[in-house]
Amino acid sequence: MEEMLRRYGSLAPKRYKYSELKQMTNSFKDKLGEGGYGTVFRGSLQDGCVVAVKLLKVSKGNGEEFLNEAISIGRTSHINIVGLLGFCLEGAKRALVYEYMANGSLEKYIYIENSDLVIGWEKLQQIALGISRGSEYLHQGCSTRIIHFDIKPQNILLDQDFCPKIADFGLAKLCHLKDSILSVAEARGTIGFIAPEVFSRGFGVVSTKSDVYSYGMMLLEMVGGRINKEKGNTESSSDLYFPNWIYDNIAEQVQSCEVICDLEEAMRKITLVGQWCIQTNPVNRPSMSKVIDMLEKRINELEMPPKPFLSCPSIRTSLSSHTSYDYRSSYCSASPAVLPCIAQK
């Protein structure tokens, strides 16, 4: 590990002692949040710069893989990626020091019933565009391709200017740029956002398109959360599959001549792009470069996507009898919107 640090030299993020982390966080006094892979605390560097310190829960191996990925992520430099400032690797203690994001996660701006937190559709479109640019950078712009595997509203942080930044690389995997697919031994991600092929190779290979699927579900979550909040929509059913509902009730209207006063162009564009991204076959999903292009076009320049194969309840029921997984609609704890949850039978 010391040799790895010497090899990368100044390109490696700063290494902190655990005692330094305690000092900068006032003994981990101010907790910002907690997830499955660690707890985040507010801290301050000696120059007064506010940071977020994430203490990791999982401590497997001798730390070489952790260090390799920390260095790779630390070498990323993009306006839509949260900056990694440093790390701690001291015995079983492992932590990451990130730049602080003043406006928290995208999640609270989708679901919370607080008028002070409402942001318009144009701003949401700009956030969606920023996330797609950050994802494209991870997939194509780094010296090592990074597949995030956990794109969701909770992992999108907003700075003081509401510039979105992709965060939480706890599930990310690295692969060489020449590799178009990735082999993973276990399913990873958050229920409701996981691409079908991550669970069953019968749907295709795991690749950067798996991130595209999660991104698409996140876009539909943005639309669904806002619609539920604006309209007070509490209607629910175990047979209701949100992407299916949104396709039937919103996306098709984009191609018609109907005037829908409460559906702005930005929202309809987010909806169409989201539907393209969640196509069941990874081959039919756009790349992140294409997603950027689509979000920058006008709504009448976009084609209507096919209805995703898994959006039909009867097809999902049929699939469940032939595979080891049941793809069915369910409620996800992270959202009031109905999303496709994937669970073992």
Marked catalytic residue, from 47, 116, 150, 262: 150
C-alpha span between 320 and 207 (Å, rounded): 23
The answer to whether residue 150 is catalytic is: yes
The dihedrals phi and psi of 138, each to the nearest 5 degrees, come to -65, -35
Active-site residue numbers?
150
